[in-house]
């Protein structure tokens, strides 16, 4: 499938198709929140007021993606979100507790539903087509992509708007912090400093206009997607799985120009990834991506946006060294989280 | 490429397994009653259809620890029943997937955690929030079932598990899996009860779907799963498949975040889409298991869409939510199980408490249990928030 438009709101100045990661925006502390654009040109001002942050940045990213693709409708709207609309969930829950189940209003409850963003996009486009939402942790985005891939194969759709969104809230940070997952970073520039424990939380919304056939506007092509649920895989398991994945699509390790790896800055989490980088991927350029977007379950969607732009530009962004890549470009994204969700996405230039 | 139904599993307010649910359906015995397990301020006003087992009884039944979310406990009971019912020989080499749905994940535990946490962010037991995510619930169950090849979770409000079922079927058709346990689950929570209460669509009495004087819905809880298998696997099983999933479709009403359009555009498109995929004419549908929540809005929208597609003689219809209440993320799964039972046994379940048929509609749902009917094709409707509408068609295999 071909990526012929993107829309992204992230902790980087990524919105609106300006320069591609020329400089890395700096974030301090234990979280990286989105740099949000002015919404009033993108969304109905009456709606904006009522929307929580994730619905705002999710819907706006989707609208910007459609604008770039030049679509006013689509055959499918498929969203991935691991946590759903946390802010609205927190609002409704705290009022429920505070007011002892009395005098509640419905807005936060309605908007807390996991498919709110997908529904909101459908509603604003008056789009009656297929609309689905995947909520499976760090596979949410990958399973949304897989859904589009199946729809194309089945002849049920020629194009699809596929994206992911997750948000940081005060409550989510306060809870996840207690699991000892985060560290207060001096800066995301030093997220990957050696020997550190903990990561920085991230968030964002990334949408992709996908087409079954090339149409002349493509950034890149998604060649394959795979998810693997493996807690603490034995040594060598991931090497074998990655080899199998690549060879199933007639790609060899040496064909990979760039491998984007899901390092998050925590030394124990990153150890296995370092091992791959210096082992099977030693002849490819390898890089992290969470120094830009932070750690969150649908961060692979941010990585796909990076890969798509790298394929389109035939070079790495200047914040990554600006190296030019010759000719046909192949990028492998390998993301993994603490719970054993491994995902592989293979992207190539068109 | 046909996808077969090889196993069924259910737990709901009318029974703890498929046989008990079927018995209650045959006896016209509903499960709507005052709350026993859910500790809500509304317990004396709002009846619900609870599963008649405590968390510790469910933990005993499943072997899971008692502190696990009730949603996971319910899910495991039904998913395991479905898996065993399919009769796959142990060690059978095949790619297994679990595709489940739920609407609020482990919210039953999160809402216990929250009062202490709200007062002091360092308080509250963290084990109560580790399964908050929808996907966490599915993974508890997948692990118990021994399914690791593919696990996914869908959440599109009340159509969630219908969508999970046909995503599962598509995994088989696209050769990504051979056997898929698909459906959904939800336990009652204060969060959803109060949410629906603010929408003012909860009935203070047992609900009356498709009645002129309907007042709203009753919430319920449970889980329902079917086991889908490829043709190749179906041929290797000792038992005949129970049905074929012959058609399915999802469409969006794109009208309002919570309300359905007056002409039922989304439901119309879902039903016609499913018919088209199955290659069936409307008159070939023998029974429709209605979404039929009992709200003013759903029943008129769904009824209008049916009126636009079908004509006299209309298929038999009923809403089994008059038995189980509206089980949200579980309803598509439970009603898929009921639809297959209907096909298998040639029976149609009554739409309980229907007194005055809706004056706008030219048809009336079935009010008494019917048996000895030859059924070839059964449709099951599930419509949700965000205009998310799905229809499934099960046919005799």
Quick check: A47 pLDDT over 90? Answer: no
- Interval B231-261: pLDDT, tens: 999 999 989 999 999 999 999 999 998 899 9
Q: Considering B236, B254, B278, which residue would you say is the last residue of a domain?
A: B236
Residues of B with Cβ-Cβ distance to A136 under 8 angstroms: 134-135, 138, 151-153
Quick check: A46 pLDDT over 90? Answer: no
- Interval A51-107: pLDDT, tens: 999 999 999 999 999 999 999 999 999 999 999 999 999 999 999 999 999 999 999
Let me know whether A108 and A158 are in one domain.
yes
Let me know whether B118 and B208 are in one domain.
yes
pLDDT of A281 reads 97
Let me know whether B155 and B23 are in one domain.
yes
The range of the structural domain enclosing residue B285 comes to 244-395
- Interval B291-348: pLDDT, tens: 999 999 999 999 999 999 999 999 999 999 999 999 999 999 999 999 999 999 999 9
- Interval B374-393: pLDDT, tens: 999 999 999 999 999 999 99
The H or E element spanning position B73 is helix B70-86
Residues of B with Cβ-Cβ distance to A94 under 8 angstroms: 114, 118
- Structure ipTM: 0.98
Let me know whether B271 and B315 are in one domain.
yes
The count of domains in chain A is 2
B142, closest residue in chain A (CA to CA): A229
Quick check: B91 pLDDT over 90? Answer: no
Nearest to A92 among B122, B133, B191 (CB): B191
Quick check: B93 pLDDT over 90? Answer: no
pLDDT of B89 reads 84
| CA pseudo-torsion sign B109, B111, B112, B116 | positive
Let me know whether A107 and A252 are in one domain.
no
Let me know whether A202 and A232 are in one domain.
no
Confidence class for position A289, pLDDT limits 50, 70, 90:
very high
The CATH number assigned to the domain holding B8 equals 3.40.47.10
Q: Is B158 a catalytic residue?
A: yes
Q: Considering A211, A234, A251, which residue would you say is the last residue of a domain?
A: A211
Residue among A224, A220, A229, A309 nearest A10 (CA): A309
pLDDT of B92 reads 82
Let me know whether B305 and B212 are in one domain.
no
Contact A131 B133 (CB under 8 A): no
- Interval A249-270: pLDDT, tens: 999 999 999 999 999 999 999 9
pLDDT of A44 reads 86
Q: Does B1 touch chain A (CB under 8 A)?
A: no
User: Tokens 């992204």 appear where?
Assistant: A8
Q: Considering B194, B215, B236, which residue would you say is the last residue of a domain?
A: B236
Which ranges in A38-179 belong to alpha helices (H)? Answer: 45-50, 53-69, 86-98, 107-112, 116-125, 140-154, 170-177
Q: What is the rounded average pLDDT for all residues in chain B?
A: 97
Let me know whether B62 and B197 are in one domain.
yes
Let me know whether A190 and A233 are in one domain.
no
Confidence class for position B138, pLDDT limits 50, 70, 90:
very high
d(CA B179, CA B312): 39
Q: Does A120 touch chain B (CB under 8 A)?
A: yes
Side-chain half-sphere exposure of B253, counting CA atoms within 13 A: 28
For chain B, give the percent of residues with pLDDT over 70: 100
- Indicate which residue of B30, B131, B326, B377 is catalytic: B326
Q: Is B134 a catalytic residue?
A: no
Q: Are A182 and A202 in contact (CB under 8 A)?
A: no
The arithmetic mean of pLDDT across residues A313-328, rounded, is 95
């Amino acid at each position: 499938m071909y990526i012929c438009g993107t829309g992204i709101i992230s902790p980087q100045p990524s919105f609106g198709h300006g320069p591609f990661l020329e400089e890395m925006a700096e974030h301090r502390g234990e979280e990286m929140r989105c740099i949000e654009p002015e919404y009033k040109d993108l969304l109905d001002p009456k709606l904006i007021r009522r929307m929580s942050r994730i619905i705002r940045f999710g819907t706006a990213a989707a609208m910007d993606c459609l604008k770039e693709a030049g679509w006013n409708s689509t055959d499918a709207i498929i969203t991935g979100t691991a946590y759903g609309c946390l802010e609205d969930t927190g609002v409704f829950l705290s009022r429920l507790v505070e007011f002892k189940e009395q005098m509640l209003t419905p807005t936060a409850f309605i908007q807390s539903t996991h498919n709110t963003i997908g529904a909101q996009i459908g509603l604003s486009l008056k789009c009656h087509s297929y609309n689905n939402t995947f909520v499976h942790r760090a596979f949410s985005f990958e399973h949304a992509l897989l859904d589009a891939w199946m729809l194309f194969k089945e002849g049920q759709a020629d194009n699809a708007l596929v994206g992911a969104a997750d948000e940081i809230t005060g409550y989510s940070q306060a809870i996840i912090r207690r699991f000892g997952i985060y560290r207060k970073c001096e800066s995301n520039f030093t997220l990957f400093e050696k020997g550190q424990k903990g990561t920085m939380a991230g968030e964002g919304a990334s949408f992709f206009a996908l087409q079954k056939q090339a149409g002349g506007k493509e950034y890149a092509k998604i060649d394959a997607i795979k998810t693997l649920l493996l807690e603490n895989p034995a040594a060598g398991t991931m090497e074998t799985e990655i080899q199998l994945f690549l060879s199933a699509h007639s790609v060899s390790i040496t064909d990979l120009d760039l491998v984007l790896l899901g390092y998050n800055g925590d030394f124990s989490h990153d150890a296995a990834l370092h091992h791959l980088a210096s082992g099977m991927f030693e002849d490819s350029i390898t890089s992290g991506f969470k120094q830009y977007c932070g750690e969150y379950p649908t961060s692979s969607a941010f990585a796909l946006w990076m890969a798509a732009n790298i394929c389109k530009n035939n070079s790495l962004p200047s914040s990554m060294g600006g190296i030019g890549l010759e000719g046909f470009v192949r990028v492998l994204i390998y993301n993994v989280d603490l719970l054993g969700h491994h995902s592989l996405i293979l992207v190539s230039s068109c | 490429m046909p996808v077969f139904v090889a196993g069924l599993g259910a737990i709901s307010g009318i029974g703890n397994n498929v046989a008990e649910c079927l018995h209650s359906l045959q006896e016209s015995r509903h499960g709507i009653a005052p709350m026993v397990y859910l500790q809500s301020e509304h317990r004396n006003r709002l009846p619900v259809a609870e599963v008649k087992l405590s968390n510790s009884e469910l933990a005993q039944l499943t072997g899971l620890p008692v502190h696990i979310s009730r949603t996971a406990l319910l899910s495991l009971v039904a998913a395991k029943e479905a898996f065993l019912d399919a009769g796959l020989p142990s060690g059978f080499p095949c790619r297994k997937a679990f595709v489940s749905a739920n609407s609020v994940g482990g919210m039953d535990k999160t809402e216990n955690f929250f009062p202490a946490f709200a007062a002091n962010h360092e308080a509250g037991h963290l084990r109560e929030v580790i399964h908050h995510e929808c996907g966490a619930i599915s993974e508890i169950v997948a692990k118990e079932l021994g399914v690791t090849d593919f696990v996914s979770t869908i959440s599109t409000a009340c159509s969630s598990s219908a969508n999970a079922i046909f995503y599962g079927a598509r995994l088989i058709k696209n050769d990504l899996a051979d056997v898929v346990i698909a459906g959904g689950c939800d336990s009652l929570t204060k969060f959803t009860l109060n949410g629906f209460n603010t929408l003012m669509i909860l009935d203070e009495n047992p609900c009356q779907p498709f009645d002129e004087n309907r007042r709203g819905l009753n919430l319920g809880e449970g889980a329902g799963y079917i086991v889908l298998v490829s043709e190749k696997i179906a041929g290797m099983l000792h038992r005949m498949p129970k049905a074929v999933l012959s058609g399915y479709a999802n469409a969006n009403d794109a009208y309002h975040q919570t309300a359905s359009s007056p002409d039922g555009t989304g439901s119309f498109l879902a039903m016609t889409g499913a018919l088209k995929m199955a290659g069936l004419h409307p008159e070939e549908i023998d029974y429709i298991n209605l979404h039929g929540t009992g709200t003013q809005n759903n029943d008129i929208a769904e009824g209008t869409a049916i009126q636009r597609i079908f004509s006299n003689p209309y298929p038999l219809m009923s809403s089994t939510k008059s038995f189980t209440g509206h089980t949200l993320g579980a309803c598509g799964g439970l009603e898929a199980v009921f639809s297959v039972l209907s096909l298998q046994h040639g029976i149609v379940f009554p739409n309980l408490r229907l007194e005055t048929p809706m004056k706008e509609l030219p048809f009336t749902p079935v009010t008494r249990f019917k048996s000895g009917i030859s059924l070839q094709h059964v449709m099951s409707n599930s419509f949700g928030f965000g205009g998310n509408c799905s229809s499934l068609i099960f046919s005799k295999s």
